[in-house]
Structure 1
Amino acid sequence: MAASLPHPDAPHPTTNERPPGDLAESVRLYGLRPWIEQSDKQIKDELGWADFEVRSDPY
């Protein structure tokens, strides 16, 4: 049975060296998502990649 406890050598959550993210920047980037997805779809269609699905090999 797997435990959901963190690894003993993992850094403690309160010792994070990075400052918290800026909310305004997060909202701005999330607003770009539809444009990025649309561009990705157009590129895949243009290259003919929309007809293929890539999966990882389990072996």
Structure 2
Amino acid sequence: MLESIKNLWYSNTGYNFFFIVGGIILIWWNLYIFKSRKEWNYKTPRDFVRFIIGIILFVYGVASIF
């Protein structure tokens, strides 16, 4: 079991899965914050940067599969 997880992680698919899941989590986190706050705090661009990083991670993960 542990060996198969290790093989998945060291293979290309493991990295792609990590990028896709990381991007989805960051994008979802931002949408959740946006919904609860009703506005993004543009004085500190942390939310915006996190959203952009999430999109980049997701797109990179999906693009490197194909």
Larger radius of gyration: 1
Q: Which has the higher contact order (CA 8 A, sep 6+)?
A: 2
Normalised by the shorter chain, which TM-score bucket? 0.3 to 0.5
TM-score by length of 2: 0.35
Structure number with higher helix proportion: 2
Q: TM (normalized to structure 1)?
A: 0.38
